[in-house]
Structures are given as C-alpha cells and as structure tokens.
Amino acid sequence: MRGVLGAIAVPFCVVVLGVGIQAAAFERPPRDALVASDALRELFRFRVMRATEVVGRHPVRATCVQGWFRPLHSRRPAPGELVLLSSGVKLYDFGNGIRRIGRRGAVSRFDLARFLLAGCPRFMAERVGSQLVRSRWVDTDASRADGVATLELSFGDRTKPIGLYVDRRTYRPVALRLAGAPKQGWSDLIAGGGRAAVLRVRQAFHLLAKSRNNA
C-alpha cells in the first residue's frame, strides 16, 4: 500500500528532481520544465476536479474525488481516485489499474478515455512528473481554451499526446485533450469542489470508500 509520503511528499520530490535533472543536462532548467513544475504545484492543491467531457458524440459530466479510501473487502485504506459520470458509470483506481463498477477486468478504451478526461489532479500530476523525472518529452506552447489564454502541456506519446491546458497566469487547469490514445476526446475542467460534490460521489459508490481528505 502506498503510504502518506508516497501519496503526498513524493509527487513534490518528483517535480524538484525532474527539474534538477534537466538543469544538470542543460545548465539551467528549460522553460518547459519550469512551466510543468508550476502547473503540477497548482494541481496538487486540489482533491476534486469537475469536468465536461466529449468523447464521440455525447458529452457527459464527470466528478473526480481523490483521497484515502477503504475499498470493499479490504481492511486498510488506500489512496486512489473515484470518478462519477453523469451517465451513471462509476470508475476508480486504487493503484492497481483503472476499474469500472459492475465489470471485471481492465476497462475499455472508451472508459479509459473517460477516466483520463475527468482530470483527477494527482493522477495527471504523477504522469507529468514521471515524464520530468525520466527526462522525457514534456512540451509547453501558448494557446487558448474556452476564451482563456493558456499554456498547453503536451506529454505522453508524441504521435498521440495528452494535452493539459492551464491558465497562463495562475497555472490552474482549464481543459484536457486526448489526441487519440486511448481515444480522441476533450474536457473542460473546473478545479475544486465542495462537500456536496464529495458526498454525492461517495453515495454513488454506496460508501465504497470513506475519504480521509477534505474537498
């Protein structure tokens, strides 16, 4: 089970180490690494993300709640993410892969895209941080999303990247784009949420998990 340090302290170390690696290689941290670290710092401020997703023809609303949860048939709480879609689909990840309530085994590419587009803050931040730590490709470009001046952080597969759009001034997440892996899709993001949002998700999971974090 991932401990508190693994869930909280390590991500910040990942960012610092990743920038340090690039600093050693390029004498100073490249702009892309600095922007990515600022965006990650902002992501880690949140435990809830709300999204409006478009995959294919039908948009759905999604709420991601992350924290420490006690899964069914487990005596110990574990860090993870719960994603509730307005279609009624319930997805989750407790560190052993993304799963869907009511179905066994790995999720479909469609469900995987839905989970990713929910924009769970730590889930996304860990993936960007992992890229930095391994000195792999993370690119940032000026852009616009929903009428807001943004920076797009592109990472993952260069041919089918994931694009995280953040406000150019505050680095708050604004939108997320999948260019084709696992499917093409887009979501508008609103970081944060109140107790009502957290309670609604927990109730939808039939109290599958009890969070130790506030929204």
- State if pTM tops 0.85: no
Does residue 103 lie within any of the structural domains?
A: yes
- Render each residue's pLDDT in the chain as its tens digit; 215 residues: 333 333 444 455 555 545 554 544 544 457 777 888 888 889 989 999 999 999 988 899 999 999 888 776 777 888 899 999 999 999 999 888 999 999 988 899 999 999 999 999 999 988 888 777 776 768 889 999 888 899 999 988 888 899 999 999 999 999 999 999 899 999 999 999 888 999 999 889 875 444 455 44
**Strand 138-145 relative to strand 98-100: parallel, antiparallel, unpaired?**
unpaired
User: What pLDDT sits at residue 57?
Assistant: 81
Range of the domain at 83: 46-120+137-204
Does residue 212 lie within any of the structural domains?
A: no
In total, how many domains does the chain have?
1
Does residue 195 lie within any of the structural domains?
A: yes
Does residue 55 lie within any of the structural domains?
A: yes
Distances (CA, A) of 84 to 51, 77, 138: 10, 20, 29
Does residue 26 lie within any of the structural domains?
A: no
User: What pLDDT sits at residue 135?
Assistant: 65
Does residue 154 lie within any of the structural domains?
A: yes
Does residue 37 lie within any of the structural domains?
A: no
User: What pLDDT sits at residue 111?
Assistant: 96
End-to-end CA distance of the chain: 22
Does residue 9 lie within any of the structural domains?
A: no
